[in-house]
């Protein structure tokens, strides 16, 4: 994997370049981070390990973009899971590649397969709907891995919601015969048409989160209304902590001089 331009937000090395600059010829594990996953990861060491060990960690959310700007002064571009999904599908279609979707229901996976057949006819697709449970048994994990490896896809899309999908990917990435593994959660439902992603207008305005909240208030309330202020407080605490450290160092330099 060639060196990528990244920027450090706390312990997270976040992509600071275009998707075209990612080298997909080497083993590549792609995850996303948003304000919700940032806070959850700070409370869950296994989840944090999975995110910080990503080959590529995408800034999926206006909150992350704003936090980077506030703490570092750098302006980065938001890149959502849906963006990397379409980027990889285009590449696979050009190379007549293979992809595998792990997660969601049989109905949703069927809709995904049908849509890819129509939009990207050169891609070979296989899917698997795992049991809906917090943790899989050893036997279930073995079966899932064997099914994926038998198909041997170029790209594995994992959609089992955070933090389960990232932890599972981190645990089994070395035994999966896949070049690129990409945890994209809700993108399965977006692409299948179960949920309509807010339009480009709202995305460009940085208000995609607000439209999702309006459309799915019960599911999104905790993520945005509760964890939003928690995230803001966490970033402000880091910002003032950095400011105090800078002032302390500056004062010591003045004393020494």
Q: What is the DSSP string of the chain?
A: -----EEEETTEEEE-S-GGG--TTS-EEEEEE-HHHHHHHHH-HHHHHHHHT-SEEEE-SHHHHHHHHHHH--------HHHHHHHHHHHHHHHT-EEEEEES-HHHHHHHHHHHHHH-TT-EEEEE---SSSS--HHHHHHHHHHHHHH--SEEEEES-TTHHHHHHHHHTTTS--SEEEE-TTHHHHHHTSSPPPPHHHHHHT-HHHHHHHHSHHHHIIIIIIHHHHHHHHHHHHHHHHHHHHHHHHHHHHHH-
Say which residues have a Cβ less than 8 Å from residue 195's Cβ, sequence separation at least 6. 186, 189, 215, 216
The chain-wide mean pLDDT, for the chain, equals 87
- Round to the nearest angstrom and report the end-to-end CA distance of the chain: 45
Cβ count within 10 A of residue 82: 18
Token pair recorded at residue 184? 């994209």
Q: What pTM was computed for the model?
A: 0.85
How buried is residue 254: exposed, middle or buried, by Cβ count under 10 Å (0-12/13-18/19+)?
exposed
- Determine contact, residues 149/176, Cβ cutoff 8 Å: yes
pLDDT tier at 16, thresholds 50, 70, 90: very high
pLDDT of residue 168: 97
**What pairing do the DSSP bridges indicate for beta strands 98-103 and 155-159?**
parallel
Least confident stretch, 5-19, 32-46, 94-108, 194-208: 194-208
- Considering the chain, what percentage of its residues have pLDDT values greater than 70? 84
pLDDT tier at 238, thresholds 50, 70, 90: confident
pLDDT of residue 191: 96
Token pair recorded at residue 217? 């208030």
Token pair recorded at residue 228? 């939003």
Q: Can you tell me the distance from the alpha carbon of 148 to that of 217, in angstroms, rounded to the nearest whole number?
A: 35
The angle that helices 45-52 and 164-172 make with each other, rounded to 10 degrees, is 60
Which residue's entry shows tokens 């995609």?
Answer: 208
pLDDT tier at 215, thresholds 50, 70, 90: confident
Token pair recorded at residue 52? 């910080």
pLDDT of residue 175: 97
- Determine contact, residues 62/34, Cβ cutoff 8 Å: no
Cα–Cα nearest to 37, from 68, 58, 22: 58
């Amino acid at each position: 994997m060639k060196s990528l331009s990244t920027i450090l937000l706390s312990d997270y090395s976040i992509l600071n370049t275009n998707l075209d600059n990612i080298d997909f010829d080497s083993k590549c594990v792609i995850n996303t981070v948003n304000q919700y996953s940032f806070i959850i990861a700070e409370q869950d060491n296994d989840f944090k390990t999975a995110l910080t060990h990503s080959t590529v960690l995408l800034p999926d959310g206006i909150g992350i973009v704003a936090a980077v700007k506030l703490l570092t002064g750098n302006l980065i571009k938001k890149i959502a899971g849906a963006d990397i999904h379409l980027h990889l599908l285009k590449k696979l279609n050009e190379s007549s590649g293979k992809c595998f979707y792990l997660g969601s229901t049989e109905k949703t996976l069927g809709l995904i397969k049908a849509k890819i057949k129509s939009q990207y006819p050169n891609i070979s697709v296989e899917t698997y709907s795992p049991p809906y449970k917090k943790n899989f048994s050893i036997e279930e994990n073995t079966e899932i891995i064997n099914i994926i490896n038998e198909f041997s896809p170029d790209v594995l899309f994992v959609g089992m919601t955070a933090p389960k999908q990232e932890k599972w990917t981190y645990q089994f990435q070395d035994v999966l015969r896949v070049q690129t593994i990409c945890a994209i959660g809700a993108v399965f439902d977006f692409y299948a048409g179960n949920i309509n992603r807010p339009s480009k207008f709202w995305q460009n305005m940085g208000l995609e989160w607000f439209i999702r909240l309006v459309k799915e208030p019960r599911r999104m309330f905790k993520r945005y209304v509760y964890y939003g202020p928690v995230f803001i407080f966490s970033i402000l605490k880091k910002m003032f902590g950095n400011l105090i450290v800078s002032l302390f160092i500056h004062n010591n330099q003045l004393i020494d001089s």
